[in-house]
Structure 1
Amino acid sequence: MSTPRARAPRRGTEKRRDDILREVLAGNGDIARLAARFGISVSTVRRDLQQLAGDGHVHRTYGGAVAGGHTAERTLDEKESGSRAQKEAIARAAAGRVADGDVVLIDAGTTTGRLARALAARSGITVVTNSTIALRHLAEAHGVELVVLGGRVRRPNGAILGPEGEETLRRLTPDLVFLGADGLHPRDGLCCPSLEQAHAKELMAARGREVFVLADASKLGAGPFPYHARPAGPWTLVTDEGAEPETVREFAATGECEVMTA
């Protein structure tokens, strides 16, 4: 007799677990607080955390969960499912900074991918990218001159990385650079899943006349991975209205970061 297959979680359950994961990655992994935050029972939070731990996203602790130094990367589909309205608002605000004739460098990421989609109807601009998402949105955008940085495709985040792309970057001076991040800290900078990606982001930032980091509120203060990239000069954080005022002040207090709320 065959064993019944386990049911896939309902969409509402997946969404709730995505939200809980973002809270844990931001350092808010206490079970009682998560239950109050989402209006669910403590037993439901325990089950969700157990599933997230089984998937490799968090480590269970007494009374909650924490993000481990080797947190598993989420897939692009998992990332796309969270904070959709906030990402759209951030992408629109970033697109508003692009003027006709600009050369724009777009990093890999889901929010930066939405920026690429917002620019697809524009004309007279050049977009340089290492993002498979941006490539998908802009490949048929006839008004956009598209330059794709060379290298291998890194999964699961769809970043194109390698010495070929770095050589191209060293020959470019983009007007605007838009970076994505898995987490963002006022002191350490952009959290990255690999040392190679951290190096690529720093090189991108160094080449641009203006540098923007697109990060929704759930990423501020989060550090799910051990690698970081820090822009060498002034940069602008584009985030959403859900960002805590104290967190915004911490970024502004560095003296290098201007905060723009979408």
Structure 2
Amino acid sequence: MRSKERHARLLEALNAGEIDVDDLARRFDVSASTVRRDLQHLSKNNAVRRTYGGAILTAHANETTLEQRLAVQGKQKQAIARAAIDLIEDGDTLILDAGSTVAAFGRLLQQRRLRIITNNLALLPFFAKAPTIELVVLGGALRTTSMSTMGPLANEALRRMTADRAVMSADGVVNGRGLCEADLEQVALKSLMMQQSKEVIVLADASKLGRAEQMAWAPLPPRWTLVTDVGASEEQCKRLADAGARVIVAGVR
């Protein structure tokens, strides 16, 4: 296969989202070094953005708003949210991260008896109407793309509290590296959320697994729980389990 044809097929494959070098090499029956050279060529032309172990189309790499993310993988996010509910016990203190999948999860908690600490402003109208939820809102700087707070004020408030479980989101989840996000202040708060909790639960649909186009990382604890959907491959789940995750795969109704 000539390089021009291979470049065109690489771009077509990447149109579905991020793919790593080894997957691309198997798909096109070439060496991983050939794929890396192809991706380097395409990145110089701004067609793709290199990521940890792979690449993503430049058009896919820009951070989206909360409304846009809520519209993507909606059935999968609802299935993940329903599966994660079984991990919560009445009386728990929860830290809820920002993000669309956590927002879908939070909306299912309205009838539960819980103490909730959150920077997820999208959930406040729902929790304000729930008489059995004790709500603590983390202040700080507003991040409009995710409708959340972050920064020194949020961090300082959170240091004064602990929780039974932190329910986390991410732009990407990579074994051995952690949770991927666009902003260093985001990962500072995410890291603190996980540190202040006895248990960490990550809600991430299959498109987030192995995805690493953003530049900031929050390391995961040695043991944590991942709730994902049936789109996750056995290989992805095994890699994450080997990195310390208890993997729960939610079906899509």
Pairwise TM-score range, normalised by the shorter structure: 0.7 to 0.9
Percent of aligned pairs sharing the same letter: 39
CA offset digits 1:183-211 (Å, max 9, x no partner): 11112111111011011111100110110
1:23 aligns with 2:13: no
Q: 1:83 aligns with which of 73, 82, 104?
A: 73
Deviation at 1:155, TM superposition (A): 2.1
Separation in structure 2 between the aligned mates of residue 98 and residue 203 of structure 1, nearest angstrom: 20
CA offset digits 1:44-77 (Å, max 9, x no partner): xxxxxxxxxxxxxxx525xxx8345x93211112
Separation in structure 2 between the aligned mates of residue 22 and residue 174 of structure 1, nearest angstrom: 40
1:223–1:108 CA distance, 2 compared to 1 (3 A): same
1:192, 1:225 within 8 Å by CA — same for their partners in 2? yes
Q: 2:107 aligns with which of 104, 117, 120?
A: 117
CA offset digits 1:199-241 (Å, max 9, x no partner): 1111100110110110000110111211111123311111011
Q: 1:182 aligns with which of 159, 163, 171?
A: 171
1:26–1:136 CA distance, 2 compared to 1 (3 A): farther
Q: Indicate the structure with greater strand content.
A: 2
* Alignment partner, residue 149 of structure 1: 138
2:177, 2:220 within 8 Å by CA — same for their partners in 1? no
1:184, 1:191 within 8 Å by CA — same for their partners in 2? yes
Q: Structure 2 stretches of 5 or more lacking a match?
A: 1-12, 28-45, 49-54
2:56, 2:213 within 8 Å by CA — same for their partners in 1? no
CA RMSD in angstroms comes to 2.4
1:73 aligns with 2:58: no
Deviation at 1:82, TM superposition (A): 1.1
**Residue-pair matches, total:** 211
Separation in structure 2 between the aligned mates of residue 158 and residue 23 of structure 1, nearest angstrom: 27
Separation in structure 2 between the aligned mates of residue 147 and residue 121 of structure 1, nearest angstrom: 17
1:244 aligns with 2:244: no
Partner of 2:135, secondary structure, is strand
Partner of 1:160, secondary structure, is strand
* Alignment partner, residue 223 of structure 1: 212
Aligned-partner residue type, residue 245 of structure 2: C
TM, length-normalised to structure 2:
0.77
Aligned-partner residue type, residue 65 of structure 2: T
Deviation at 1:152, TM superposition (A): 1.4
Separation in structure 2 between the aligned mates of residue 90 and residue 23 of structure 1, nearest angstrom: 21
CA offset digits 1:83-130 (Å, max 9, x no partner): 1111011111112211111101100000000111000122x2111101
Deviation at 1:165, TM superposition (A): 1.6
Q: 2:97 aligns with which of 107, 115, 132?
A: 107
CA offset digits 1:11-67 (Å, max 9, x no partner): xxxxxxxxx98832345998xx9xxxxxxxxxxxxxxxxxxxxxxxxx525xxx834
2:14, 2:56 within 8 Å by CA — same for their partners in 1? no
2:15, 2:57 within 8 Å by CA — same for their partners in 1? no
1:26, 1:218 within 8 Å by CA — same for their partners in 2? no
TM, length-normalised to structure 1:
0.74
1:120–1:237 CA distance, 2 compared to 1 (3 A): same
Separation in structure 2 between the aligned mates of residue 223 and residue 160 of structure 1, nearest angstrom: 23
1:21–1:156 CA distance, 2 compared to 1 (3 A): farther
